[in-house]
Amino acid sequence: MAPAAVFVGPPGAGKTTVGQAVAALLGVEFADTDHLVEEKAGKPIPEIFIDDGEPEFRRLEREAIAGSLATFGGVLALGGGAILDEGTRDALRGHTVVYLSVELSDAVKRVGLGAGRPLLSVNPRATLKYLMDQRRPLYAAVATHTVPTDGRTPEAIAAELADLLKVAG
């Protein structure tokens, strides 16, 4: 079993919102690896970062992704930094990966001031720009499909993706 689609992209791209809508349109389940990590750790991501550090969070994230790629048949959203791990990028090969791209101005509007996002806790706009610039080539490298989300409603993006995935599937 493999996911119907795996969503990647920076914070604010709409991975969770669009992913949930696409899953509903396709009639499959939705899962977010950030939530899977929180369930396994028994605490929210910001607390994992504070208590255990980013390396422990990334380890839990890798495990959640590997397990989901092997056993989950719905729409899976990965955390924004998941693609930094080479093993995760390798594991995504052969899967339908949708890169939801977003420019900085839209991402900032959607993310706000980074509440609940540990990597955006200090100077969120500059940090988000840095993260987006650093990760953009990695998102593109793993993507089967790239869909710009700027200035579009989640419903319009989801409808486009559901049609695309039905044809591809």
Residues 79-137 have pLDDT tens digits of 988 999 999 999 999 999 999 987 665 666 656 555 555 555 556 667 777 888 889 99
Q: What is the per-residue pLDDT across 52-85, written as a single tens digit (0 to 9) for each?
A: 998 999 999 999 999 999 999 999 999 988 999 9
Asked if 37 contacts 68 with a C-beta cutoff of 8 angstroms, the reply is: no
CATH number for the domain that contains residue 84: 3.40.50.300
Asked if 45 contacts 38 with a C-beta cutoff of 8 angstroms, the reply is: yes
Residue 40 φ/ψ, nearest 5 degrees: -65, -40
Number of domains in the chain: 1
Q: Please report the pLDDT score of residue 116 as a whole number.
A: 52
The residue range of the domain holding 107 is: 5-168
Q: Please report the pLDDT score of residue 100 as a whole number.
A: 93
Q: H helices within the chain, ranges in order?
A: 15-26, 33-41, 45-52, 54-71, 86-92, 104-111, 124-142, 154-168
Task: State how far the alpha carbon of 46 is from the alpha carbons of 52, 56, 89, in Å.
Answer: 10, 12, 24
Q: Is the pTM of this model over 0.85?
A: yes
State the pLDDT confidence band at 49, using cuts at 50, 70 and 90: confident
Q: Please report the pLDDT score of residue 168 as a whole number.
A: 62
